[in-house]
Amino acid sequence: MNPIVDREKGLIELGRRIEELKTLSATQNVDLSTQIAALEAEYAKIQQEIFGSLTPWQRVNMARHPKRPTAAEYIAKLDAFDELHGDRFFRDDPAVIAGFAKLRGRRVVVVGQQRGRDTKENVRVNFGMVTPEGYRKVRRLFELASHLGLPIVTFVDTKGADPGIGSEERAQSEAIASCLYALAESRVPSVSTIVGEGGSGGALALGLTDRIIMLQHSIYSVAGPEAAAAILFSDATKAPEAAASLRLTSDDAVLLGIADEVIGEPLGGAHRDKDATIELVLNAIERHLAELAPWTPERLQEARYRKYRQIGAWRARTAPSEQGPR
């Protein structure tokens, strides 16, 4: 069970009680304003206590919240969408939703990683873990976008690429690398949004874009906290400590020069007001695309190269004796 979901239970019950009193007051013509105001004040206090200041591990669990908006919900709010299927080699991967779309009247190619709401849907989309055929579908769409001169929009939400034997047999690493190559060589503007969990190379395959946007409680990391804890401490239960060390929050990503913008979420997470969150995300994507639209393919490629060459650059501090006079 997601710890954030557990902490929300009392808050949800209190919210339900407030709505019941409001309904009773309206239908029975009874003045319950004092009781309602007291409960609303208590609701706001508890909400602030739970969500006002989240640790990195709590933000990991927020990114994994089962009610968080999925890629399909963002795509559903576009002006138009025509889905394309298959990698032209093996099969279609339902963990990837991709096709032609219109965003605020602008023609784009959109690609999103889809996770499920319940067990049945999670099994259908392989818990959002994309297989080689999914990444080959992604590469096909990236190349098609570049060929047609259409901007690329991606929605990232995965714990990582599928690690199964079948995926390894079908060249998972090569499929991911081909996506990275296609994005690096792309001659059109590209914007990716981390809407939930951005895990490892499975997320990076959709994230090597000109601009990277992150929702406030999304995460972006070279490895999941549990895997990192198993590697660093030989104990997966130390995931909270690993989460703090990984610098995986949206705030960290901006400070490290990885993300270009963080979009704030409603207090309690994006699922508290999905429509408003989705609207903010789509507006931000359109704004970045509008900024990139006048750029020539050569300028896009050069800026992209500089952006990713600078990430992780290390500069040695000079000793005081070497700094010279002040």
Q: Which residues contact 205 (CB under 8 A, 6 or more apart)?
A: 130, 135, 138, 161, 176, 179, 180
Written as tens digits, the pLDDT of the chain (326 aa) is 677 777 777 777 877 888 878 887 778 877 888 888 888 787 777 777 777 788 999 999 999 999 999 999 999 999 999 999 999 999 999 999 999 999 999 999 999 999 998 899 999 999 999 999 999 999 999 999 999 999 999 999 999 999 999 999 999 999 999 999 999 999 999 999 999 999 999 999 999 999 999 999 999 999 989 999 999 899 989 999 999 999 999 999 999 999 999 999 998 889 989 999 999 999 999 999 999 999 999 999 999 999 999 887 766 555 544 444 44
Burial environment of residue 36 by CB neighbours within 10 A (0 to 12, 13 to 18, 19 or more): middle
Q: Which of 62, 27, 78 is nearest to 216 (CA)?
A: 62
The answer to whether 212 touches 174, Cβ cutoff 8 Å, is no
Contact between residue 71 and residue 198 where contact means Cβ atoms under 8 Å apart: no
294: Cα within 13 Å, side-chain hemisphere: 2
Judged by DSSP in three states, 86 sits in coil
Taking only Cα atoms into account, the Rg of the chain, rounded to an integer number of angstroms, comes to: 22
Question: pTM for the whole thing?
Answer: 0.87
Structure tokens at 12: 């949800």
pLDDT at 44: 79
Which secondary-structure segment (H or E) carries 190?
A: strand 190-199
